[in-house]
Structure 1
């Protein structure tokens, strides 16, 4: 099948899933009601208010977060030339998790902190996650600027993840039920809690990261053939490595801050795209991964509504259910030979 047709099908699938995500919920709305709510509706009408202030922001969050996480995963797989690499490989998600854990549970060690904290707020969680991700970003970029081997950067990222898990476990042990619930709800991952005010920050940041990523297909193609070949064709490998880490950190850090960690999406989508398009050319893989990630997260958000009764599943339950079989497939396929990107 021609790539142009596949791109068209992906785009149509995104449009369909986007509108279905707005229509589907505790109270289903017709396509006509959604259209009127988006363009001509009055906020005083309940259906219009729900669409404009809850379902539309949720769908936009899924659209941008899915695209960003998937592209970040593709970049990590290309940088490390490892098909099982993911955004969590650099410890960025773990850093964001530590930031949120410290913000919500630090008073267990420092009771006086409670005197200056009137309660846990969504903006406080977002700021804490951004700071945690930024600290890890500075650490990783510092390592990347000093060492020549991407394996060393990979090891540092993995160790940061273990260190973060230890800190979070200690904080959880000394925290009460209410605090643990706040942290766990964030860690489940969700696109439903984003407001318009938050989207005004999230969308430009993710759009910037995606725009920068679309400038990288040529050096990524060179890296896919090995660092020696990349240098032979004039690619500045340290600069490209730094750029990929920075773009990935920008995407993963900002999205994790607003939605919580989203599991397996960054690992699974690039493999789906390579199989679908039958190419390793990043000029095709980057936009295709962007579209496929957005479509998959919209579909996952749709499926979280299946239980009904006003309840929704954690979105990580769906992304893991879809992503884990993809990883198993990749591992089994690797038995035929070496991993290939």
Structure 2
């Protein structure tokens, strides 16, 4: 308990520092003191700094926090429910459904010989939400018919593969401009949202976290298998619906608004287990949320290429960071004790 009580305040301090670092770095370097003074007092030394912080960097940093929390919690749910250390928030194909919705919006018109106009961030997010909802409905139907969790995992992967195949066909027949637009979206972006969209994403994340908070003890029982959980009085069927609904809102909503963000949902829960040295979900859920927010803030700050006008896609940065973590975990087999 001493380690736990010590690590959370340190993590919150690092989160605050990472948040300020994310706001400070970019093509224009803004001092920490100016950021704090400007946000809390409204007194900015330069009007350009006010525009940069309030209308671009602050929404982007908040999106990084929300996406880091949502992906980490949904990844931890998948790993626990399926007892698979390499499961992530995308194994049920819900994020692929969001990608399908966006692909239809961006690529279908070009593939069939006509152009779509008026594609903006609202249209992209709406298409992603509809696509994720469609696949979520399909997964829910299968979950109603199939009782075995491993079969549900396989079906989810098949949904994702089928959806990816449809996207590949649309990409093959689409024009260069539409294909480039979709490729850029698939690389992920945290900075394309306005304040209204940030608010909607925050609501989705909050709703998706509610069932997690109410079921923490049940996830602890699931670590020892569904049979053991049933013997402890856990309704595994209800837990399955909680997991599907929560992951659908978290992973689907984040993908719809930000594009696919790789490796965060897989790597962060393992990092939380290593740092906190615990498999108790009362510790792992808040620890994963904290580490996920920190990691995505730092990845976004690194992708800003401080001093340069260009930025790297967030998906590229998280993959560069997350892939070595997952490979190291596999080589050391650190996750074998927890599953």
Provide TM-score, normalisation by structure 1: 0.95
Give the match's secondary structure for 2:338: coil
**Paired residues of 2:65 and 2:293 also in contact (CA < 8 A):** yes
User: Mean Cα displacement is larger for which, 128-137 or 302-311?
Assistant: 302-311
Question: What residue is the counterpart of 2:29 in the other structure?
Answer: 28
Question: What residue is the counterpart of 2:39 in the other structure?
Answer: 38
Question: What residue is the counterpart of 1:102 in the other structure?
Answer: 104
**Paired residues of 1:70 and 1:266 also in contact (CA < 8 A):** yes
Question: What residue is the counterpart of 1:72 in the other structure?
Answer: 74
Structure 2 unaligned blocks of 5 or more: none
**Paired residues of 1:307 and 1:313 also in contact (CA < 8 A):** no
RMSD (CA atoms): 1.7
**Paired residues of 1:83 and 1:339 also in contact (CA < 8 A):** no
Number of aligned residue pairs: give it.
337
**Paired residues of 1:206 and 1:251 also in contact (CA < 8 A):** yes
1:7, distance to aligned residue in structure 2 (A): 0.7
Give the match's secondary structure for 1:234: coil
Whole-angstrom distance in 2 between the partners of 1:76 and 1:188: 23
Instruction: Note closer, same or farther for the CA distance 1:34–1:184 as it changes in structure 2 (3 Å cut).
Output: same
**Paired residues of 2:91 and 2:153 also in contact (CA < 8 A):** yes
Structure 1 unaligned blocks of 5 or more: none
Give the match's secondary structure for 1:276: helix
Question: What residue is the counterpart of 1:213 in the other structure?
Answer: 212
Question: What residue is the counterpart of 2:296 in the other structure?
Answer: 297
1:205, distance to aligned residue in structure 2 (A): 1.3
Whole-angstrom distance in 2 between the partners of 1:53 and 1:306: 19
Whole-angstrom distance in 2 between the partners of 1:91 and 1:154: 10
**Paired residues of 2:12 and 2:290 also in contact (CA < 8 A):** yes
Question: What residue is the counterpart of 2:84 in the other structure?
Answer: 82
1:203, distance to aligned residue in structure 2 (A): 0.8
**Paired residues of 2:261 and 2:315 also in contact (CA < 8 A):** yes
**Paired residues of 2:29 and 2:306 also in contact (CA < 8 A):** no
Provide TM-score, normalisation by structure 2: 0.95
Question: What residue is the counterpart of 2:52 in the other structure?
Answer: 50
| Cα offsets for 1:65-122 (capped at 9, x unmatched) | 101101100000001000000011101111111110000011134446x4xx433211
Residues 307-326 of structure 1 aligned to structure 2 (within 5 Å): 308-326=307-325
User: Mean Cα displacement is larger for which, 284-293 or 204-213?
Assistant: 204-213
Question: What residue is the counterpart of 2:191 in the other structure?
Answer: 192
Question: What residue is the counterpart of 1:139 in the other structure?
Answer: 138
**Paired residues of 1:22 and 1:59 also in contact (CA < 8 A):** yes
1:169, distance to aligned residue in structure 2 (A): 1.1
1:40, distance to aligned residue in structure 2 (A): 3.0
Instruction: Note closer, same or farther for the CA distance 1:339–1:145 as it changes in structure 2 (3 Å cut).
Output: farther
Instruction: Note closer, same or farther for the CA distance 1:186–1:111 as it changes in structure 2 (3 Å cut).
Output: same
Whole-angstrom distance in 2 between the partners of 1:105 and 1:317: 23
Residues 270-281 of structure 1 aligned to structure 2 (within 5 Å): 270-281=269-280
| Cα offsets for 1:157-212 (capped at 9, x unmatched) | 11111111111111111111211111111100111111101112111111221233
1:338, distance to aligned residue in structure 2 (A): 5.0
Instruction: Note closer, same or farther for the CA distance 1:165–1:317 as it changes in structure 2 (3 Å cut).
Output: same
1:36, distance to aligned residue in structure 2 (A): 3.0
Give the match's secondary structure for 2:242: helix
Give the match's secondary structure for 1:89: coil
Instruction: Note closer, same or farther for the CA distance 1:14–1:338 as it changes in structure 2 (3 Å cut).
Output: closer
Match status 1:251 vs 2:250: yes
**Paired residues of 1:145 and 1:242 also in contact (CA < 8 A):** no
